[in-house]
Chain A
Amino acid sequence: MTFRGGRRAITGIVALAVLVTGALVWALWPAPAPPPGRDVTIPVLDGPAGDQRVTLDATFFAPPGLGSGGGRAPAVLLAHGFGGSKQSVRDQAERLAARGYAVLTWSARGFGRSTGQIALNSPDYEVKDVRQLVDWLARRPEVLLDRAGDPRVGIAGGSYGGSVALMAAAYDSRIDAIVPQITWYDLADALFPDAAGAGPANGVFKKMWAGLFFSSAADRLAPEGGLGAAGVAGVAAAAGGGTPAGAAPPPTPDQVRCGRFLPAICDMYQTVAATGRATPEAIDLLRRSSPVSVQGRIAIPTLLIQGRRDSLFPLSHADANARVIAATGAPVEVAWYAGGHDGGDPESDWVFDRTVGWFDQWLRHSARGGTPTKSSPDGAAFTVTRDGGRDPGTRRPVLLHATAGRYPGLGGTDRTTVDVAGSPQPVANPPGGSPAAISSVPGFGGLLGGAGGSVSPALDIPGQAAAFESAPLAGAVQVTGSPSITIRVRGTGDTTLFGKLYDVSGGALPMLPSNLVAPFRVTATEAGTPVTVTLPAIDWRFDAGHRLRVVFSTTDLGYATPAAPAVHTVELASPRLTLPRDPALTAPSTGPVWWTWALPLAGLLAAAVLLLTGRAPRGAGRTDEHLADVPLVITGLGKRYRDGEKAVDDLSIRVERGQVLGLLGPNGAGKTTTLRMLMGLIHPDEGEIRIFGTRVLPGAAVLSRLGSFVEGPGFLPHLSGRANLELYWRATGRPAADARLEEALEIAGLGAALDRAVRTYSQGMRQRLAIAQAMLGLPDLLVLDEPANGLDPPQIAEMRRVLRAYAEGGRTVIVSSHLLGEVEQTCSHVVVMHRGRLVSAGPVGELLTATAPANGSGTRLEDVFLDLIGEGR
């Protein structure tokens, strides 16, 4: 009984533990083992004449459950990034295969264990290789065929791998869908960008990225990661180590110079890198490897995933790809995710899901005829990953995916203008181009800026930058696309400038969205050369109260700038800064979700139901007028333990005024249980108790006429005896004068100990204090449970006297005891209980006489008692 609550609590804890364990197992259960890949070497013939023999190192992942000859599955070619190998995409390949695709990964020529030299996805080399991989797939028994020799196949890959997907799609009509990620439209433009629109011949050399790009292909620097899938971490790792030790022979000068590049490409790079200017031959060569050279020939469903943190292949490249592919009428979707070559959040899972969704849609569903259905929940013509605040549990950044039904291009669906102001400002080009402003540091953006953060600090050098600033914005502006502005540059000769759009708020550092800059080269004139600068494409929210600041700097760490010192003047041709927007782009609502309101209401409702249905049993309890003068009437009282055994069974007692009643019985007779029911502490199962005619229920007001001491004292140990009694009396809410505190304290007889904390008391002192507490207010009915415990003989004698005197005034005392002599000497009446039942009741004297003959000799209550409970001789 004591552990009723405890047992429930244990049940609850066990249930919770089971639930938690279940949830953890469910969450952490290992996924089924991925299908093992099979390593194969595929010999191909390529070169302009198709006569160069190259061996490609590849791995084939058969879709699970199909390999033994059942059905056929669509195939996916998974290409790796620059500097990587087939190992870089192994994880993705396994996941794709588990989703039911036949997946082929390969190390491109010049990478990993494949032979040959790097030709930068040239139509004569890498593209021919891919065509022969498609031939290979067409011969596999696991691969679904559209026609003989024409497998159902898609290509996915990032960076270098994305480019080969685009190029192969242009040259091989058997390819059905592609997902190129963070890749280029025009490699010449990527390496020699010109934001004034004059093309790569006039472009500014992106020297740091170009250097990393070309050097990472050299054998001695080839990292396992690669620039595509694994991002820049691979470059950083390569920079730190990876040099094969000892055994290998020292590299030849040619290897050191060109790594595994095709000599023609190597020579081209050496020329342009030395001068910082693109030659027509270089542009021609780079464009042969770029989708720009195959406009109109890519006409298959294409999902372009480009990174917002990408200063190597910025969003404008995906935009150009999207435009030319959509012009053929092929379905195109564009996604700007939070990663890119500069780091950010790789969003691996989301990118994978979108990729699989795209292939499901175009390689699988279209096969069943009819129009393909939307299968990916995130699928939309235009998706932009935005910052969604922080996860309140982990405090980590949360990403939202805003979607729109149409891809508007970098000009947005509409535009707004903000006026910027500033006087003409002279800007100096430092000799040697140093020190240089910093926007992003290629290869280290992700390390410096912290993964997940959308910006890292940018730095301008005073004297090298002209700034034009707007007034604080009245309302927030969400920019999606490329802002533009027209300026004039005065002076003489050529200069390079870098346009940047900062978000300036009150206290913090100005932020350069995505750390992107727009480089351009301009020939200055004394009258001022007008230039319309297309600033980098961004998706950025300029909040109300912030200012927009357009800065033109003469230097940037990532680019080649003229070595000769010069000073030019930059001024605004028009104060208008044009900002493209796409209001259709909406993120899932971040407003209060429905349960914010519903849950507390439901909780309060549930609470109300619990309280209303859980009312305490209501007594029939009008006062029985006939019994109004009878201190205690117990009728048919019964109480079961939880195990069903009866603690009290059909007990009926009547106690009159002036009686001192002894409740007698051995341990376990049910005395204490009866007294607890009398105090309203436990609920009777059957029968009732009436005190002065009023039925006893928990908290019944008539209990105020009862003084009780049951099963030991109960005091606050930190308070003194006096404070305990005073606080107890104040808790009853009755007038202080009614307490008769001094009389009660006299009975306790504690003397000076009364003002000590109760925890210092002996057992007997507490006992006496408890009896005094029971007598507070001189109740009409006094119930004392084993009052003589812990008292010494003189105190017991005193107790007897006090109790008899107490009853003489017409009050009633009930004393329970297992000490027979005690009852015999104190009580006028006695009730004998045994095993919960009433055995005998009546005046003490009567009980003694009634049983006298059975005994013969002198009668003692002890004998009577033992006789009554059937344990006599």
Chain B
Amino acid sequence: MNQTRPDTAGHAPGYSPGRTLPLRVEFARQFRRRRTLVMFGLLLALPWILVVAFQFGPAGGQNGQNSLRLSDLATQGGLNFAAFALSVSAGFLLVVAVALFCGDTVASEASWSSLRYLLAAPVPRDRLLWHKLLVALTYSAAAVTVVPLMALLAGTLAFGWNDIRVPGTGEVIPAGDVLPKFALVIGYAMVSQLVVAALAFLLSVSTDSPLGAVGGAVGLVIVSSILQAVEALGSLREFLPTFWNTAWLDALSPQPEYGGMAKGVAISVAYSAVLIALAFRRFRRKDVVS
């Protein structure tokens, strides 16, 4: 970031702005936090909880032909199960995880008062924000990836490695063909969470309360989801940040359609670019009083 280059004259020996707050250090600072570990533990456990839930459920899934909903097809195989796990977690659990990693990152430092010592170290403000954002986004991406991957593992162990059956039509796509698409789906899920991440980050910069930042971002998702159910809003809904979140289902259909995903990426990138820029702008000028 092209922050005002601080004067380098008269600094302490060995100090260089470009070496402050290395990413490794920020990773280490965040990693041992209880909330990080608990969140990842939950995300890793979810697929196994679902597997157990399906094992205990009434065995109605075998008459296959009639019910072609995603949830009914979940036990068809590892890939189907992973798609199901992603669809049930993307709506809320992953939103909370992403909002947590990105909303908590600056606000928690402010609430611990450690932010002021980092700034006085001094870590240049843009650099501090940039590295915090990168680390938070990496943790978020890991959260989004870990659910479908663990579900793939759990589903394959529990239900076998089978070709994927598409919800709605019941068509079968070979597992080998769908694997690269699966990477695309995970990538899209990450991009579609970018708005949540950016908003949480902006709120994190603006408030000293980590809960407020996380809750604000989750609140936006809830409001947006409610609004998108109001069909009277017509095509205005297309510009809601959550509207395209399930568009990745199109990529798994026999005739993949990427129009919705393209729109989703467009919305997501546009909103998050502005929100992140606002976060930087605000933090540069902010009087740190925490």
Chain B residues within an 8 Å CB radius of A9: 203, 206-207, 212, 216
Q: Confirm or deny: B262 has a beta carbon within 8 angstroms of a beta carbon on chain A.
A: yes
Minimal Cβ-Cβ distance residue in A for B15: A704
Total interface residues in chain B, CB < 8 Å: 104
The reply to whether B229 and A394 form a contact with Cβ atoms under 8 Å apart is yes
Query: Are A733 and B20 touching (Cβ within 8 A)?
Result: yes
A443 to B184, CA, bound (A): 44
Knowing A593-B263, A733-B19 are in contact, say whether A701-B203 is a contact too (CB < 8 A): no
| Residues B207 and A728 in contact, CB atoms below 8 Å apart | no
Instruction: Spot the interface stretch: A91-99, A714-722, A832-840.
Output: A714-722
Q: Which of B114, B122, B244 contacts A699 (CB 8 A)?
A: B122
Distance of B281 from chain A, by nearest CB (Å):
3
Contact A681 B288 (CB under 8 A): yes
Contact with B along A599-629 (1 / 0, CB 8 A): 1101110111011011111110111000010
* Binary CB contact string for chain B from 269 to 290 against chain A (1 if under 8 A, 0 otherwise): 1111110111011101111111
B20 and A731: CB pair below 8 A? yes
> Which A residue sits closest to B229, measured CB to CB?
A394
> Once the chains bind, are A614 and B273 in contact (CB under 8 Å)?
no
Smallest beta-carbon distance A739→chain B, Å: 10
Closest to A694 in B: B10
B187: chain A residues at CB < 8 Å are none
Q: Are A611 and B281 in contact (CB under 8 A)?
A: yes
Across the interface, A607 reaches (CB within 8 A) one of B13, B19, B260, B274, namely: B274
* Interface contact A393-B243, CB-CB below 8 Å: yes
- For B290, list chain A residues within 8 Å (CB): 2
How far in angstroms is the closest Cβ of chain A from B19? 3
Q: Is the CB of A699 within 8 A of B17?
A: yes
User: Which of B26-34, B51-59, B89-97 binds A?
Assistant: B26-34
Asked whether A24 lies within 8 Å of B170 as measured between CB atoms, the reply is no
A23 lies within 8 A of B273 (CB): no
Expressed in whole angstroms, the Cα–Cα distance for A700 and B114 within the complex equals: 18
Q: What CA separation (Å) do A9 and B203 show in the bound complex?
A: 8
Interface size on A, residues (CB 8 A): 99
Stretch at the interface among A64-72, A123-131, A300-308, A705-713: A705-713
Closest chain A residue to B263 by CB distance?
A596
Residues of B contacting A611 in the complex (Cβ-Cβ under 8 angstroms): 1, 277, 280-281
B183 near A: Cβ within 8 Å? Answer: no
Contacts of B119 in A (CB 8 A): 679-681, 698-699
Which A544-591 residues have a C-beta within 8 angstroms of B?
590-591
| CB of A475 closer than 8 Å to a CB of B | no
The reply to whether A730 and B22 form a contact with Cβ atoms under 8 Å apart is: yes
On chain B, the residues within 8 Å of A777 by CB distance are: 12
Residues of A within 8 A of B19 (CB): 733-734
Asked if B117 and A728 make an inter-chain contact with CB atoms under 8 angstroms apart, the answer reads yes
Closest residue of chain A to B235 (Cβ to Cβ) is A593
Contact with A along B201-233 (1 / 0, CB 8 A): 001011111001000100100010001111111
- A491-531 contacts to B, CB under 8 A, are 505-509
Instruction: Check B63 for interface membership: any CB of A closer than 8 A.
Output: no
Measured CA separation A733–B226 after assembly (Å): 47
Are B118 and A731 in contact (CB-based, < 8 A)?
A: yes
Q: How far is the CA of A615 from the CA of B13 in the complex (A)?
A: 28
Q: Which residues from chain B contact A23 at a C-beta distance below 8 Å?
A: 227, 230, 233, 236
Verify if A732 is at the interface (C-beta below 8 Å from B). Answer: yes
Q: Which residues of chain B come closer than 8 Å to A695, judged between CB atoms?
A: 7
Q: Which B residues lie at the A interface, using CB under 8 A?
A: 1, 3-4, 6-22, 25, 28-29, 32-34, 65, 112-125, 127, 169-173, 203, 205-209, 212, 216, 219, 223, 227-233, 236-238, 240, 243-244, 246-247, 249-250, 254-255, 257, 259-260, 262-267, 269-274, 276-278, 280-282, 284-290
- The 9 A-B pairs of least Cβ separation, nearest first, read A603-B270, A733-B19, A714-B113, A614-B281, A607-B277, A5-B206, A27-B232, A682-B287, A701-B11
Give 12 CB contacts A-B under 8 Å.
A2-B208, A8-B206, A9-B203, A9-B216, A607-B277, A623-B9, A681-B119, A694-B9, A698-B119, A701-B6, A717-B112, A779-B12
